[in-house]
Every structure is written in structure tokens, then in C-alpha cells.
């Protein structure tokens, strides 16, 4: 049903693997979008393989798993073409189950399942490889990403671009890129891809362009407006909003203000529900 990783056939997960090998593996996971192809060679996304209610060979990552009955697990997967799905992995807790070594977080798998209900049955899962394991702070950041996805993504709502962004984010964390900047970019992408991100470059009151020298507050539903004395929402400079829109976090002020803003916007979407992993990150690293 599944195959466990072997170090002699997986140079991408060894610390001495050439960067080109690892990047090629990541490129394998990221499908090129049609917009990136020349006009005369528009590429179409390959449709997922389905037979009736059966899905096969679907790129996926484990977001979360928990025990189900005596020997099985319920596994939450992030998949490229079906979004977040919940599957029963029968027998996955048995000592000699091949799935024990396959259903690991932050490692790509090729998964198949069957069923029509919200909770379906995993039929196969094969380890794909190609990403370095996350360690230390990067590992905590990875669990933070997974918690965000579990709490903010509806099941069976596909977001292929977000899947690709998730792969890219894991790769950046594994290569020790600055976690605060990597996380801000992913948080913004998550809100955008799920359709709840306001345009940070336009004033909600005037629809004019945000001005770099003006202080704003951001209404989660409408977008930025000039700050007033009575506002309790975090204040951000117009420059910060413009920097965030172009993913430029070089300015320390932009880093600090964007952290407070994203915390505020995510809390709104979560309806106040706490993020356990973020609190750990705040306590340990102030991310």
C-alpha cells in the first residue's frame, strides 16, 4: 500500500545533497501555471485521475492525524486538486504497517482514496520525497502552517495555487530563510487564495491608492482606511501596506507592523479561536 523512504535512494533528504537535486525535486511538485507559458503554448492542468468515486496518484501532504479505533488513523491531507480531505487510514497504527513511515508531516506523498462521504478511505500512499526535513524553529513554523490550513480551509475546496505556495514555503523554511518573512508571505497568500483578503493598496473610503506617509487601520472585510484616535485595531503605515502587496519585507518597520496586522486579520477569520502553535512561536521566537 505504501513505501517507506530509503536513504540510499533519496539524496534530497540527506544534508549533503546538492542544492540542485533538492530544487529539481521541488520543481517536480510545482506544476507550471498556464500564465507562465508562452501565448502560443498555453499549458492545461492535468486532470486528477478518478474512476467513479476513486482517486489515484494525487499529490498531497499530511496536515494532521489522530487515532481512529484500535489500529487506524484519521488523516487530514492537503491535496493539489481536491483541497483538504479527511481519510481513514486503516491499519496505519499496526507495528508493521507500511503507512507508518509514509504518513509523515512535511513530506510529499502520492495518495489515493475511495468514497463519496466527507470521511473517505485511504487506498494507497507512496512517499515521493524531494524536500529536506524541517528542524528546530522551521519545524515549529511548519506545524503553524498546518494548523492554519486545518482551521481556515474548508474541506473539499481545491486551491492548487495555495498547494504550490505551501510546497515553496516548506522548501524556504528547510533552507533556513528568515521565518518571519516566510510566514508573512504564506499568511497573505492563504487569505488571498481563500477569497478573504482585502486590497491593501486601495483606501476603502476613497478607493484611491494608499499613501506611504499616512497611518491606516485595516478593516478585515473592506480594507485600509485612515486611522482615527478611537481605533483599537493595529495601525500600519501606508508604506507597510504597499511593501506587503509587493512582498518586500526588507524594512524592519514593515516586518514589525505586518506581523501585528496579520495576527489581527487571522484572528478575525478564526473568530477568536486560538492558534496553539503560534503561541509557542511567540513565546520562543517572537515570530
Residue 30's pLDDT is: 43
Residue 129's pLDDT is: 85
pTM of the model: 0.80
Is 214 inside a domain boundary?
Answer: yes
Phi, psi values for residue 108, rounded to 5°:
-70, 140
Is 140 inside a domain boundary?
Answer: no
Strand partners, 265: none
90-120 pLDDT, tens per residue? 999 999 999 988 999 999 999 999 998 889 9
246-263 pLDDT, tens per residue? 999 999 999 999 999 999
120-136 pLDDT, tens per residue? 999 999 999 889 999 99
What CATH number is associated with residue 27? Answer: 2.40.50.140
Which domain-ending residue is among 91, 111, 127?
127
27-59 pLDDT, tens per residue? 434 433 333 333 333 333 444 555 458 999 999
61-91 pLDDT, tens per residue? 999 999 999 999 999 999 999 999 999 999 9
Is 164 inside a domain boundary?
Answer: no
Residues 189 and 281 in one domain: yes
Is 206 inside a domain boundary?
Answer: yes
Its domain, for residue 206, covers: 178-285
Residue 285's pLDDT is: 62
Residues 119 and 186 in one domain: no
174 vs 273 pLDDT, higher one: 174
Instruction: Give me the mean pLDDT over the 277-282 stretch.
Output: 74
- Burial environment of residue 230 by CB neighbours within 10 A (0 to 12, 13 to 18, 19 or more): exposed
What CATH number is associated with residue 196? Answer: 1.20.1440.120
Mean pLDDT, the chain, as a whole number?
A: 84
Is 163 inside a domain boundary?
Answer: no
Specify the number of domains making up the chain: 2
Residue 31's pLDDT is: 39
Q: 54's torsion region: left (phi>0), alpha (psi -120 to 50) or beta?
A: beta
Residue 52's pLDDT is: 53
Which domain-ending residue is among 62, 93, 127?
127
Give me 132's grid cell: 529536506
Alpha-carbon span 255 to 237, nearest angstrom: 12
188-247 pLDDT, tens per residue? 999 999 999 999 999 999 999 999 999 999 999 999 999 999 999 999 999 999 999 999
- Burial environment of residue 18 by CB neighbours within 10 A (0 to 12, 13 to 18, 19 or more): exposed
194 contacts 187 by C-beta, under 8 angstroms: no
Amino acid at each position: 500500500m505504501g513505501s517507506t523512504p530509503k536513504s540510499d535512494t533519496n539524496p534530497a533528504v540527506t544534508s549533503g545533497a546538492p542544492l540542485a537535486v533538492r530544487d529539481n525535486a521541488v520543481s517536480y511538485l510545482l506544476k507550471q501555471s498556464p500564465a507562465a507559458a508562452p501565448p502560443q503554448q498555453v499549458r492545461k492542468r492535468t486532470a486528477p485521475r478518478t474512476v467513479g468515486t476513486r482517486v489515484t496518484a494525487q499529490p498531497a501532504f499530511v496536515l494532521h492525524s489522530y487515532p481512529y479505533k484500535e489500529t487506524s488513523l484519521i488523516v487530514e491531507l492537503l491535496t493539489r486538486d481536491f483541497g483538504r480531505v479527511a481519510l481513514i487510514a486503516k491499519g496505519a497504527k499496526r507495528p508493521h504497517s507500511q503507512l507508518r513511515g509514509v504518513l509523515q508531516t512535511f513530506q510529499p506523498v502520492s495518495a489515493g482514496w475511495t468514497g463519496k462521504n466527507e470521511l473517505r478511505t485511504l487506498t494507497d500512499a507512496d512517499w515521493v520525497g524531494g524536500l529536506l526535513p524541517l528542524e528546530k524553529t522551521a519545524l515549529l513554523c511548519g506545524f503553524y502552517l498546518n494548523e492554519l490550513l486545518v482551521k481556515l480551509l474548508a474541506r473539499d475546496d481545491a486551491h492548487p495555487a495555495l498547494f504550490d505556495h505551501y510546497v515553496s514555503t516548506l522548501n524556504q523554511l528547510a533552507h533556513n530563510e528568515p521565518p518571519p518573512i516566510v510566514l508573512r508571505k504564506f499568511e497573505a497568500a492563504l487569505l488571498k487564495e481563500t477569497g478573504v483578503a482585502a486590497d491593501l493598496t486601495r483606501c476603502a473610503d476613497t478607493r484611491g491608492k494608499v499613501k506611504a506617509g499616512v497611518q491606516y487601520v485595516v478593516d478585515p472585510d473592506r480594507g485600509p482606511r485612515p486611522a482615527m484616535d478611537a481605533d483599537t485595531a493595529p495601525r500600519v503605515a501606508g508604506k507597510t501596506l504597499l511593501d506587503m502587496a509587493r512582498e518586500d519585507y526588507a524594512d524592519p518597520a514593515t516586518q514589525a507592523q505586518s506581523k501585528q496586522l496579520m495576527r489581527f486579520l487571522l484572528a478575525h477569520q478564526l473568530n477568536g479561536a486560538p492558534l496553539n502553535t503560534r503561541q509557542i512561536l511567540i513565546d520562543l521566537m517572537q515570530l
